[in-house]
Amino acid sequence: MKYFRGSGILLDVAAVVEFSFSDLVQQPTRVASVVEERGRVVLRRRNAPDLVLSRATDLTELAGFARLLSRMVAHLQTDELAETVAEALPWTRYLNDPERAEFVKDLPAVIQDCEDLGTFVPLEVYLTQWRDTAAILADPELADRLTSPIKKPLGKRVTPS
C-alpha cells in the first residue's frame, strides 16, 4: 500500500471511499470532510455512471500531468513510442501492424487535445475505441464474423422518400 502524509494525517491512498449520491445530498458536510481528508470520493449512482468528487487542485495537477505527458510523447521517436505503448498497453499487440502504427501516430495529438481542452475525455474515448477493436481482433471467430460479408439479407430494404 502507498501512503501519503498530508496535513499531519497518514492516508492510505489506495483505499477509495465511496458514498451514494444520496449521502452527498443528505450529508454534504460529512462527504466534503472526507474529500478534504482523502482527496476524493466516489459517488455511486443508480442507473447512471459513478461520479468522483475531488479537490479543485486535482484538476490543476491533472492539467500539469497532461502537459508533461504531451511534451514527453512529442520527444519520443516513433519506434520508441511504439515500444512504450506496447509495454503500457499490452492489448495493443492484438492490433495488426497498420492499426498499431495508426494508434501510435495519432496518440500524441489526442494527448495534446486533452491538454488544450482541459479534460482527459478525448484520451478515454480514443483508448476505449482502440481497446474494443483489439478485443474483437483477439477473438478470431468474432473478428471473422464482423468482417465477413453478410450472406443473406437481414430484411426489407427501405428506400428513403
pLDDT tens digits for 64-87? Answer: 887 888 888 888 888 888 888 999
Give dist(CA 17, CA 40) in Å, integer.
8
- pLDDT reported for residue 112: 87
Other beta carbons within 10 Å of 99: 15
- pLDDT reported for residue 118: 79
What pTM was estimated for this model as a whole? 0.63
Map residue 114 onto helix, strand or coil.
helix
Other beta carbons within 10 Å of 127: 16
Nearest one of 47, 39, 19, 16 to 31, comparing CA atoms:
19
Q: Categorize the per-residue pLDDT at 12 as very low, low, confident or very high, splitting at 50, 70 and 90.
A: very low
3-54 CATH choice from 3.30.70, 3.40.1620, 3.40.50, 3.40.1760: 3.40.1620
Residue 121, pLDDT above cutoff 60: yes
Question: Residue 137 region, left (φ>0) first, then alpha (ψ -120 to 50), else beta?
Answer: alpha
Which tens digits make up the pLDDT trace of 14-58? 577 999 999 999 999 999 999 988 888 999 999 999 998 888 887
